[in-house]
Structure 1
Amino acid sequence: MTATDGGTHRAIKGRMLTRRAREWRIERLPLHLPTFDRFLPAVLHLYQSNRLDTLATLLNEGILVQTPADPYTREQVIVQARGMGRWLGLRIAARFGICANIDFPLPATFLWQLIETVLGPQARLGPFGADALAWRLHGLLEQPPAALAAYLQDGSERRRWRLASRIADTFDQYLVYRPDWLESWEAGQSCRLGGDEAWQMALWRMLAAERDSAHRADLMHRLIVRLQDPAPLPLPERIVLFGIASLPPLLMEVLQALAKRIDVALFALNPCAAPWGDLDRRIDSRAPGERLLAAWGGQGRAFFDELAGVDDLHSLFDETPPPANLLAELQYDVLSLTSAGTRVLLPDDDSLVIHACHGPMRQVETLKDALLARFAADPGLQPDEVVVLCPNMDDFAPYVDAVFGQSEPTAGGGRAGAASPHLPYAIADKSGLAASPLLAGFLALLRLPDGNWEADSLMALLELPALAAGFGLLEEDLPQLQEWITQAGIRRGQAGDAFSWQAGIGRLLLGVTMPTGEQAGNTGLPLFADLHPSADLDLRFAARVAGLSRFSRTLAEWQNALARPRPLPNWAVDLAGWLQRWFVESEADRVTLETLRQCLIKLGEVGERSGMLQAVGRAAILEWLSAALEAGSGAGGFLTGGVTFAQLMPMRNLPFRVVAVLGLDDGAYPRESQPDGFDLIARHPRRGDRARALDERWLFLETVLAAREQLLLFYTGRDARNDAELPPSTVIADLLDAVDCGWHCLDSQAASRQILRRHSLQPFSAERFRPGSSGLASFDGRWAAIARLAGRGDALPAPLAAARLPGEAPREIELADLLAFVRNPAGWFLRRLGIRFDRGSFELAKREMFTVAGAEERELLQLAGALADQPHALAALGQGAARLPDGPGGQAWAARQAVRFAPAVSAWRGLSTADLAVSLRVDGLQLSGVLRGVDAAGLGLRQAGKLRESDRLAAWLQTLVLGAAKPANMAHDCRLIGLDEIAHYRAPERPAELLADWLALYRAAHASPPPLLPRCGLAYADGLSKGRNPGPDKAAQAALAAWQGNDRQTGEGDFDQVRALWRGQAPLGEDFVALCEQLLQPMLAHERIGNIKA
């Protein structure tokens, strides 16, 4: 290392701290550092190095070891990011055993503390703070300048607020970078800046005329003047600025004035030891370091130019020859600005690798495999020595949780089918809204008037435990509530039609209090206030229905409250009251609710400071709160012990052994940012202005320097839809060009070909599991299992039907479970495996009903069956139950369908509703249950729709039960009446023997599923005995056709549960044939199906 110093100094022994395997190790190195002598004139000290850890050592050994005159004075170490403060705190604690009595304020925070200290507590921004300025502009734009009138002519308050906010941000930048413009405008003098100057000058003069306090530029000028006054001031003995990468000119003037009174130490990361201010004029295209510094160093060059005349300069650059790897040599090239000629990139050099993937999910999957490979190769590497950065954490956080959050908790992973080994991790920098569903939920409540009460949107609110608890609802109630909402016909709208929340809640309340089928009023129909009670409800569900009803009523009150404009302080008070009403505070949500309360308090304070008394509408409040909550980020996951995932932001690039960067896609980084068209700074730039593109290039240079051993870069290099090649970020293109200029492979090929790795679309690509493959190996046993299956060519995985379940089949059988098995054998067995196709997972309907089909039609048929002698009342019942489109359209449909339903309704009218309890022993088995719809003629069953094969099987089985039970004084036949057909089942001579075969099949199914497929089975049985040329061949063809389906009808093999159980392998072999012959042929021999009209 080399060091150069200026000014007063003394030689001391310095220590550099480096992290190795979770232990802090001290390395001795000679440093020459200044003494902050209280009796010597104060100066501005600049310490620069290419290593951030070296700067931290300089801070500890050169400054903090010297106790201030007042030991109780809190040290002020100003940092550019909170993560930097946390890292420095750990370094200080490692050196001194404790980190206490030290503050790590951000530059803006320190500046306002200094202003209040020097100018007094009355020196506040008042109406010129950024938020207050935006609200004042919002009020002024109610009568906009002529240049803005066309943009605001629609009267949208949301548009007016957004424009006011953008103008306020622009004025805030003028206060920092162009205070001379504002001073001229206040004096009524134009700066000749172009067409947009006139209206901006007019707005600023109106703002300035209203003020009774100074704005930021005024305060900073007054601060500088006061600091230049020799009169005593209550200043700290010294301050430190650590890792600051840029300073506005006005703030630089403040520091220079402050440095004449106290010691000011500025610790800056300088990537280059050589002078590089004129690099653009002398760049050698063959030197990689010069190329990168010229491409990425614009912001840093301007910053160090500002510091050129500093009083006391100290440099400490690590110019030790680097290890023989690409990353270290590249960093050294940037440091020294020298070129060692073209070097050889060794085949095993993986210090710098660029991964091209198919989208963000594959980037994160590839990242995990790359990290696991690194940990396997270096057992000393610890998870907290790895950082993963990305331009926008919210974009990648779900993928990170999906990949890193579902792993084996051990370091294994070799087990077949096991997930990859677990890596502890933490995500920092998620926005407040992304980190907290409760915050997003509160904003969703504020957006309620913008929507139309869509059922799915409002149910999403009830998924917040803190909100649901206020209405007595629990998380486990949600599936039931979703089913009720669908059943009650709730789709959208607060009130006004049959599908509104008001009507649907009414149906649910009637379902609890008014039994289905009970007549109300003089209509003779089961309606009350034109509403039909929801079925399957009783007083047991009263509490949950009441909670849903209170939720709906509270939403209506809330919507009415939001409609009233009011001043900002009133909004703050009223929303705080509603916050307490909406959410039940728990330990888990306490911090989030306090964040919301503090945000509302700030809203009230901003209203007071701005002095704006006009009433403001909900839309502007929503915009302000959204921005305020979005700005709050969860930084709690930074440096917490695992792999750190963080946002790519200034001075977040702390030294880590392994640094990875995700999301370096074209256009995503550096981010394309266009200034507002009226931004006069963009039109008239000056030296020292901030430029986002330059900032982010400098930030990427810092990231490259932060990697101590390995740098991994990821981007979307292929389109996942069509595999088209996509370009990377310009910073990756710059890096690849620089590498090709300075290195080549052993075979003289371009080095970029070695460091750029292109990955497969799927994580289960066989290439990732093949021994000796040049690609990145996968550690995930689940993908390995899929890759092995894929390698079998056309071989299919074994179906779930091959599973064998342990345990003994029951000898006591419930008729209801037996019928469930017969109706849906595949679904019944899947439930035995713990696999459910839950009805609660559907998507709630939110569109208006225009047609009737499917489930709604079947339910209308059920209603029609209850009409007795009033088939003309179908429209009233259908609309009362929300099963018909509202208005004349639904009534016309009902009138047409009443004719179609009439024969079926007439046939249903004579069916009995009596029950018969049965309990019988068959082959040593006990069968118990209830047969419904029995009368002297036997069983009478109703099917609201076409007769399906499963319905026919269930009717036949009940015929066998009735015959085996042998009840007296009634026939043992069965009638199954559908919409167009009626099936008659004649009682067999020996029903108990036939029933015994079904019970044996049911018991065998407890171990493994039989090939019982209602549609295919009946098609086979029909083919054996009916039609032309009956026989096994025709029967097999019919069964296969039923399995495959056609353009008009879905094949049974494509039913969700059948496909899940058999995985496309049609079970139509010998067992299927035997089952059809034994069980289904007897059924067809006793079945007669005819037209219901006959």
Structure 2
Amino acid sequence: ELISDTGIDGASLTWRVYAYLKDDAFVRTYPRLVQATSSMSDTSRFSLAERIARVLLTYNAFRNDWVIAWLKGEDPKCEEKILTDPDYAWQKAMWQKIGQDLKLPLEHPARRLRQTPEAFRETSELHVLMPQNVAPFYLEFLAELSRVRDITIYVINPSEIYWFDLNRKTVIEEGSHPILSKWAAQRKALNQLLIDFTYAQNREDVSLEQVPFRKEEPFGKEPSNLEWLQHSIFKGNAKLFENFHEPRRVVDGSPVYDRSLEIHGAYSLKREIEAFVDYLYDIFQNDETLKASDVLVLTPALEKAAPLFESVFTNLPEKRKIAWRVVGRSETARNELVTTLFQLFETILGGFGVREVYALFSAVPVAARFRFTNETLDKMRNLFEEAGFHQSLNREELAQKSFYNGKRFTLEAALNRVMLRYVMREDFDDVVGDIRPEGRRIDKEPLAALYRAFEVLTDLFEVSTQKRTLSEWVTRFLQNAIANFMQGRSEDEIRVNEVADLIMKECEAGEAHNLAIDFSTFVAIFKNKFKAYTFGAKPVPSVTLTNLANMRGLPYRVIAVIGLNDGVFPRRTEAESFDLCLAAPKAGDRQRNADDKNVFFDVLTATRDHLYLSYTSRDMANGTRLQPSSLIRELLECLTNQNATTKDDWLIEHPIQAFSAANFYRGEAFEENDVDIRKISFDTELADDINVCQGKPAVFNIVEEAQSEEIALSDVLDFWDNPLKYFWKRRLGLNMARDDSSFTNDEPLILSELDKWKMNTDIFDELMESGQNGKASDKSRLLAASIVPSGKLGEKAVDDLCSKVEAFAALCRTDLEKGPS
């Protein structure tokens, strides 16, 4: 409550910063702001406001002494290079404006607890499970709260012996255990911060103690490599790496495999997943107690990996099916309504090109709203081509463009042309189809539905042309689009409304400054909200794929991390150039790279039996070797430096294709000593196809005889029309976008030879039927044709055609008058 009373949160602070950036008087005072915001669009200005707000919130959490000094009109006690930084003055002034607007106290908000201690006094003890990273700002609240009630804080210490003890004496030297030094630095900084903060209180009622570790269970069998690695972390002793053994070694003449810790390289992310499936088959075969629910698959790029994961696991043969599920995906990847909203945004911002409009009308929610069937959409394609629609919605939208575009090529002009031809020409049914119900009413037919869609789209465009407050954008555009332009699943609408409610909560901050934003800025805000909006990830009774950070620390018997490519994880992010913390960093400062390493450390320590890591090791195009994540490189260094193993012992590389003969056993019979189980595929179907001996996985190679299936003629036609599209639809359940390759957003600049022939025929027939011995009578009709370029180009083309045809018609008339010779 004390924190929320200050009004300092990401959304409200962003709007305040945005208001300051639009205040010319404030911006002109600081050359750095003038330089950054000159010629900046509203969308870019709002994006800058978001970035500045994030940095200011960091100061409040990790440099609260700076903020308090600024609010008092003073400079903080910090290094001189911070005070002389060119970005220091405007950030100090901005915090002072924030303090004046919000009437912030000139002390830490936690001090207000001393004014009304009874309001927070409780008889029960407060237990706090400390997160992985906590800012000093929040520790002050706990310190003040501890004056009126007992608080016990629990902090995870991954090692029996760490870099410090409670007397602040170094127990082991920095770097003596490479895993702890490189991956658990963030946790070390948090523990040290808590200890230093506790000692700084100088209070007799504050104490620190280390909870004794439970007695370690003795190994019931020969420890695996993963167990030795985790045991070395627990003991804080890197010398235990000497107990590692080769992952594949020969004992009593037979190969013995330790598959508890493996690193795999493949040519693509899909091949990584295919290799992992074979890994699962092998450990399932050798451990009957393993279940699908014991397997967790993590990836730093869930949206990229999910479709490939679904493709591989969905197409496993019935006898080798593995239950699976993807959880924690972004809402934008699952919600058709949101996807269509994004299409609508891009169509409006992109100028209503015929490709974009047709794709928008083909989207499932729009087609459902206006009852566009597949047949109707096919007719719509022909209609757009025949009517000459290329780009722009109508004259009003066209007038906003700075470049010239013929008014005859807008959607409005095309629909008017269609309606006119519908009324005037009986043979236009070939294009539009049978749209004439009894009484010539067309309000419920495809053409009328297309007009209704056009009218709603026009209304939405008109709303988008003016600057509006955030609440107006939600009510007048977003809700209007959902209610009148789309029809989605109820659960999709619920998700959209939830995000709309989140945006509406920001409206108070925006409207307090009476701020109006343009359409592109609203689109950016809406997209950012939805990209951050995900389903909760929780364990499910199957093989689970989710984002690397979603289920960190949860114990699983088998954990796989796929897609560990260089630069992907840990993520490479550049800090803001105006972040003053960079000039004087402190232990415990938030760093994405350190956060990611801590996540991976959690994965390592949470794995019970098998840890599987993979990355794309070679370029698909030329076979060039690619670097893995720095985490894999550091792990390989640890595994090889202090024992007799080599990098090749730990790294298993797979061929470029699943059907490569190198994935299977060779020869008449299986000889276990001659193969490496870790590289072998269990795909018996592929083994049969390429005529190699499968041999080993007898448990899985029973395949039922395929049942005959009646194939409809429509399926044959769909396959013949587009085999790839048919495959995606039938095998993967994915509907590809409708073909728009025949569309072009560009208006014609010249007449094609076929168009010339059509116009020549029309002109010649008119001259010959009229009996006139002169020029074509109605050039305006010719210039109105959708195939004729606009302006002078069109006039020149029509004049050239008319002069040539007129001369030819005159010769024909002369010959006809003479009669046969």
Q: Distance between the aligned counterparts of 2:754 and 2:797, measured in 1?
A: 15
Match of 1:301 in 2: 188
Gaps of 5+ in 2: 165-169, 199-206, 249-256, 395-405, 695-707, 726-737, 768-775, 814-821
**214 and 463 in structure 1: CA distance in 2 versus 1, 3 angstrom threshold:** farther
Match of 1:624 in 2: 525
Deviation at 1:161, TM superposition (A): 0.6
Match of 1:255 in 2: 142
Kindly report which structure 2 residues correspond to 1:911-930, keeping only aligned pairs within 5 A, or say none: none
Say yes or no: does 1:498 pair with 2:416: no
Kindly report which structure 2 residues correspond to 1:1009-1048, keeping only aligned pairs within 5 A, or say none: none
Q: Distance between the aligned counterparts of 2:323 and 2:605, measured in 1?
A: 25
Q: Distance between the aligned counterparts of 2:407 and 2:11, measured in 1?
A: 43
**337 and 311 in structure 1: CA distance in 2 versus 1, 3 angstrom threshold:** closer
Match of 1:539 in 2: 436
Q: Distance between the aligned counterparts of 1:786 and 1:693, measured in 2?
A: 46
Indicate which of 775, 780, 787 corresponds to 1:883: 787
1:337-362 deviation line (CA, Å, top 9, x unaligned): 23243542241111111111223232
1:869-918 deviation line (CA, Å, top 9, x unaligned): 23769986776553344343345455666799999999999xxxxxxxxx
SS in structure 2 opposite 1:757? strand
Considering only CA atoms, is the larger Rg found in Structure 1 or Structure 2? 1
Q: Distance between the aligned counterparts of 2:43 and 2:718, measured in 1?
A: 53
**125 and 473 in structure 1: CA distance in 2 versus 1, 3 angstrom threshold:** farther
Check conservation: 2:225, 2:244, Cα contact below 8 A.
Answer: no
Check conservation: 1:534, 1:881, Cα contact below 8 A.
Answer: no
Kindly report which structure 2 residues correspond to 1:254-653, keeping only aligned pairs within 5 A, or say none: 254-277=141-164, 278=170, 281=173, 283-284=175-176, 290-308=177-195, 311-317=208-214, 319-322=216-219, 323-338=222-237, 339-340=239-240, 341=242, 343-347=244-248, 348-408=257-317, 410=318, 412=319, 421-474=320-373, 477-495=376-394, 496-515=406-425, 538-539=435-436, 543-575=445-477, 577-578=479-480, 579-584=482-487, 586-607=489-510, 611-635=512-536, 637-649=537-549, 652-653=552-553
**667 and 907 in structure 1: CA distance in 2 versus 1, 3 angstrom threshold:** farther
Residue identity in the other structure for 2:9: G
Check conservation: 1:864, 1:874, Cα contact below 8 A.
Answer: no
Match of 1:762 in 2: 657
SS in structure 2 opposite 1:688? coil
Say yes or no: does 1:170 pair with 2:79: no
**907 and 395 in structure 1: CA distance in 2 versus 1, 3 angstrom threshold:** farther
Deviation at 1:424, TM superposition (A): 2.4
Deviation at 1:561, TM superposition (A): 1.1
Match of 2:109 in 1: 219
Say yes or no: does 1:843 pair with 2:724: no
SS in structure 2 opposite 1:345? coil
Residue identity in the other structure for 2:384: I
**275 and 152 in structure 1: CA distance in 2 versus 1, 3 angstrom threshold:** closer
Please identify, of 735-744 and 648-657, the stretch whose mean Cα deviation from structure 2 is larger. 648-657
**342 and 222 in structure 1: CA distance in 2 versus 1, 3 angstrom threshold:** same
Match of 1:159 in 2: 44
Match of 2:566 in 1: 666
Deviation at 1:845, TM superposition (A): 2.3
Larger proportion of helix: 2
Q: Distance between the aligned counterparts of 1:806 and 1:688, measured in 2?
A: 63
Q: Distance between the aligned counterparts of 2:812 and 2:280, measured in 1?
A: 69
Check conservation: 1:861, 1:901, Cα contact below 8 A.
Answer: no
Say yes or no: does 1:722 pair with 2:632: no
Residue identity in the other structure for 1:728: P
Q: Distance between the aligned counterparts of 2:344 and 2:742, measured in 1?
A: 19
Deviation at 1:786, TM superposition (A): 5.8
Deviation at 1:174, TM superposition (A): 1.0
SS in structure 2 opposite 1:166? helix
Check conservation: 2:179, 2:233, Cα contact below 8 A.
Answer: yes
Q: Distance between the aligned counterparts of 1:324 and 1:301, measured in 2?
A: 28
Match of 2:770 in 1: none
C-alpha RMSD of the superposition: 3.8
SS in structure 2 opposite 1:315? coil
Q: Distance between the aligned counterparts of 1:335 and 1:131, measured in 2?
A: 42
Gaps of 5+ in 1: 1-111, 117-122, 285-289, 413-420, 519-531, 792-804, 808-827, 910-1094
**881 and 707 in structure 1: CA distance in 2 versus 1, 3 angstrom threshold:** farther
Q: Distance between the aligned counterparts of 1:236 and 1:488, measured in 2?
A: 79
Deviation at 1:334, TM superposition (A): 1.1
**260 and 784 in structure 1: CA distance in 2 versus 1, 3 angstrom threshold:** farther
Deviation at 1:511, TM superposition (A): 4.5
**651 and 587 in structure 1: CA distance in 2 versus 1, 3 angstrom threshold:** closer
Residue identity in the other structure for 1:157: D
Task: Tell me the number of residue pairs that the alignment of Structure 1 and Structure 2 aligns.
Answer: 713
Check conservation: 1:175, 1:182, Cα contact below 8 A.
Answer: yes
Check conservation: 2:562, 2:613, Cα contact below 8 A.
Answer: yes
SS in structure 1 opposite 2:467? coil
1:391-433 deviation line (CA, Å, top 9, x unaligned): 232232222222223444x3x1xxxxxxxx3322222232232
Residue identity in the other structure for 2:792: P
Check conservation: 1:572, 1:603, Cα contact below 8 A.
Answer: no
Q: Distance between the aligned counterparts of 1:605 and 1:132, measured in 2?
A: 8
Kindly report which structure 2 residues correspond to 1:646-1045, keeping only aligned pairs within 5 A, or say none: 646-649=546-549, 652-745=552-645, 750=646, 752-771=647-666, 773-774=675-676, 776-780=679-683, 783-784=686-687, 787-788=690-691, 831=716, 835-837=720-722, 841-843=739-741, 845-850=743-748, 857-858=753-754, 861=757, 865=761, 869-870=765-766, 880-893=784-797
Deviation at 1:149, TM superposition (A): 1.0
SS in structure 2 opposite 1:344? coil
SS in structure 2 opposite 1:470? helix
Residue identity in the other structure for 1:269: I
**386 and 876 in structure 1: CA distance in 2 versus 1, 3 angstrom threshold:** farther
Check conservation: 1:717, 1:726, Cα contact below 8 A.
Answer: yes
Q: Comparing both chains, which one has the higher relative contact order based on Cα–Cα distances under 8 Å and sequence gaps of 6 or more?
A: 2
Deviation at 1:443, TM superposition (A): 3.8
Query: How high is the TM-score relative to the length of structure 2?
Result: 0.78
Query: How high is the TM-score relative to the length of structure 1?
Result: 0.60
Match of 1:528 in 2: none
Match of 1:188 in 2: 73
SS in structure 2 opposite 1:350? coil
Match of 2:5 in 1: 124
Residue identity in the other structure for 2:475: V
Kindly report which structure 2 residues correspond to 1:5-84, keeping only aligned pairs within 5 A, or say none: none
Residue identity in the other structure for 1:654: L
Deviation at 1:569, TM superposition (A): 3.6
Deviation at 1:766, TM superposition (A): 1.8
1:355-381 deviation line (CA, Å, top 9, x unaligned): 112232322332333223333333322
Residue identity in the other structure for 2:409: F
Residue identity in the other structure for 1:778: S
